[in-house]
Each structure stands twice: as C-alpha cells, then as structure tokens.
Chain A
Amino acid sequence: DAKTTQPTSMDCAEGRAANLPCNHSTISGNEYVYWYRQIHSQGPQYIIHGLKNNETNEMASLIITEDRKSSTLILPHATLRDTAVYYCIVRSPSSTLTFGKGTMLLVSP
C-alpha cells in the first residue's frame, strides 16, 4: 500500500473548520484514501473514504486532488470532542489497514 505523510500536529479553534492534509504521492489506481480517528484510549473510528471524487458525510468532507497525490479531510465546525489523532490511510480494497503516526488535532475553546 502507498505511504502517507501527515503533519504531526495541528490546532483548531472550536467552531472553525479543521483542514487536515495528507500526501500520498505513490498511490496506485485501485487504492482508496481512508480516514480514521482515534480519541484517547478508544478504538479507531471510521470517518470517510474515497477513490477519486470528493466525498461528504455527516462527519466530514474529503477532498482528493485530481492527480490523487494528496487529500484533505475537512471537519466543517470543529468541536472539543473532535480532539483526536487522525489517520490517513491508503489501501487497496482487500488489504489490511495499516496505521501511520497520524495527525494530533487539538481543538481549543
């Protein structure tokens, strides 16, 4: 599976949009971009995934560049409960999820 690069940490003010970037320049044609998050001492929580089109659900939006070499996860109105480690994972449909170091997002009042 392709490797991903994420910033180690980011800060966001409560109520503002949180934009989390991810680089995956070696992504292959059949690989999807997945985002999970992990709140302290809990299991990972699925957020969203996409192949090449932008995706939106009740939690977030995923913007994938046209060349698919990078993506951005957008939390439109961050709350304190969104403080977590966010993992960007690139995987083919049948492969096992492998976690990198992720981005620690701290949402402050």
Chain B
Amino acid sequence: GAVVSQHPSWVICKSGTSVKIECRSLDFQATTMFWYRQFPKQSLMLMATSNEGSKATYEQGVEKDKFLINHASLTLSTLTVTSAHPEDSSFYICSARELQGYEQYFGPGTRLTVT
C-alpha cells in the first residue's frame, strides 16, 4: 500500500516552454502533497507544500509564479514549471501524506532537462 506515482519519469523540453509533472497517490487519499527538488550531488530541498483545495505554500526563494502547483483532488497534484530555463534542470520528487496520517510517501521522481 501507500504508493505514489509520478509522470513522466523524465522529460526534455526547450528553454522557454512549460512542462507539467503529475503526482498521484494510487491507493490512498492525500490531503497534503509536497514537492522537492534535487540538484546533482545535493540533497532534497522542499519547494512547496499543498493541501487539497487550497493554495500551495512555497518555501523561501521558490518562485510561486514559476512553479505552479495545483492540488485539485485527493489523489492528484501537479507541478508546472513555466518558462523553463536550463537552470531549472533538476530531479523533482513529490511526496504525499494521507488523511489523518503523519507518514510521507515518496514518488519515484521526475528528471527534467531543459535545453
């Protein structure tokens, strides 16, 4: 149980375009979802936290207009990287926490490369 999926697993896009990453909780309802970013040889950094039906809360230094997060249902959250630039190339990982739960379950990650 407690499986989180991400789609796509990897994506290449051109500079200036937008790309959407989906995060789904497959067998539980996730009231809260988290988005992390990981640059090569670095640790995971929390970008934002989203609660179903509410606006996301972004960490300091993360541009909310650039990284659009939608959490419209209890099983789906999306991260859209708008006007992507090469420096946005990174490994994006989502995590979900179930209703009335404390544990976070992680997705497999999405590798974004912006050319």
Contact = CB atoms under 8 A, between A and B. Distances in A.
Contacts of B95: 44, 97
A43 B43 contact: no
For the residues of A in contact with B, the DSSP-based class is loop
Contact of A41 (B6, B45, B106, B111): B111
B104 A97 contact: yes
Contacts, number: 39
Contact of A96 (B49, B105, B107, B109): B49
A98 B46 contact: yes
A16 interface: no
A99 B106 CA distance: 13
Nearest to A95: B102
B67 interface: no
For the residues of B in contact with A, the DSSP-based class is strand
Nearest to A92: B102
A44 to B, nearest CB: 5
A8 to B, nearest CB: 12
Q: For the side of the interface on A, what is the size category?
A: 10 to 19
A18 to B, nearest CB: 20
Contacts of A102: 43
Interface in B77-115: 91, 93, 95, 102-109, 111
B62 interface: no
Contacts of A94: 102
B34 A96 contact: yes
A93 B102 contact: yes
A41 B6 CA distance: 13
Interface of A: 38, 41-46, 87, 93-94, 96-102
Interface of B: 4, 6, 34, 36, 43-46, 49, 91, 93, 95, 102-109, 111
